[in-house]
Amino acid sequence: MRCVSLALVLAGALAAATPALADVSPPEGFTSARTETLEVNLHYVRDGGPGETVILLHGWPQTWASWIEVMPLLSPDYDVIAVDIRGAGKSDTPEGGYDKKTMAGDILGLMDELGIESANIVGHDIGGMTAFAFASQFSERTDTLTIVDVPLPGTPIFEMIARNPLAWHFAFHSAPNVPETLTVGREDFYYTDFLEKMDAGAGGITEHEIQITVDAYSDPESARAGFNWYRAFPQDAEDNQIFMETPLTMPVLGLNAGRLAPFPYVVQMMEPLAETVEGQALDSGHWIPETRPAETADLLDDFFNRY
């Protein structure tokens, strides 16, 4: 009887915590759309500008809107596409497929549907893991690869960072059912606290951006999907071990949050994995696209132009 009552309470809490997804307006000149023919359909925001295509992939706990200040700065010279990755925002939230090898296939499907032959792939956080998996599987479709502030499962850098108290959430999010149960109804506190602490005093995350996250991840299916990105880390490590047997041939840019790790750890991580690697640690917390949008756009533009 107590089990039934508990189930009813949790079901009620989940229903109460499911708001309408916040409607974030795209920047001027950009339009919002969804794929229509894929097994897992993705929402994206695109300007269709001139020049090479740039695909921007966000991390946890965010949506395409994490790039909203960078997008207009790249728009004059590039076809910029910011994607809600599998499980986030207005994209589909299937039961499985949250390993980054599969999620990279989602991005390939998006490119195929849009008729894009190749692109500069840029990923922050979980998006960076997905970007690496994409470049490793589909090198001929990857003009350049940019990884922003994330360690890749299966690398020594990942093992080092996973032991750091700042990465406590790796284990918490991976526990079956635990984070969903403990955060439901407490999304405002949990996501606000996480975003503010990982900002590391840089002032890069605004109240509006926090509200976008709280609204998006108060949806139980999106919350579950986000935690599943972490639960897939063991599979990601196995896949990455195979990927790392073949060095990447496209140029790689690595950026990381200098306020959290003052040494350029993404560059050090990628140097054994790719033929051409460059990058730096920026004066920022984890939320680099929000904290340093102009610097991020300039670094990307310079990188793309040289390759």
Find the Cα–Cα–Cα–Cα dihedral 299, 302, 306, 307, rounded to 10°: 60
Question: Taking a C-beta distance cutoff of 8 angstroms, is the pair 251, 135 a contact?
Answer: no
Mind listing the pLDDT tens digit for each residue in 108-153? 999 999 999 999 999 999 999 999 999 999 999 999 999 999 999 9
CA distance 173 to 292: 27
Angle at 117 between CA 112 and CA 123, to 5 degrees: 80
What does each C-alpha distance from 176 to 33, 186, 210 come to in angstroms? 33, 18, 26
Tokens of 95: 């039961």
pLDDT at 19: 43
Pairing of strands 53-57, 119-124: parallel
Instruction: Enumerate residue ranges in the chain where pLDDT < 70.
Output: 1-23
pLDDT at 17: 39
Mind listing the pLDDT tens digit for each residue in 188-232? 999 999 999 999 999 989 999 999 999 999 999 999 999 999 999
Closest CA to 40 of 81, 99, 80: 99
Residue 141 is given by DSSP the state: G
The SS3 of residue 199 is helix
pLDDT at 13: 39
The SS3 of residue 146 is strand
pLDDT at 24: 87
Q: 34 phi and psi, to 5 degrees?
A: -135, 145
The SS3 of residue 204 is coil
**Taking every pair of C-alpha atoms in the chain, what is the biggest distance, in angstroms?**
67
Question: Taking a C-beta distance cutoff of 8 angstroms, is the pair 89, 222 a contact?
Answer: yes
How many residues does the structure list for the chain? 307
Q: 83 phi and psi, to 5 degrees?
A: -115, 140
What's the pTM?
A: 0.93
CA distance 219 to 229: 16
Closest CA to 175 of 126, 228, 125, 221: 228
Q: Is 170 exposed, middle or buried (0-12, 13-18, 19+ CB in 10 A)?
A: middle
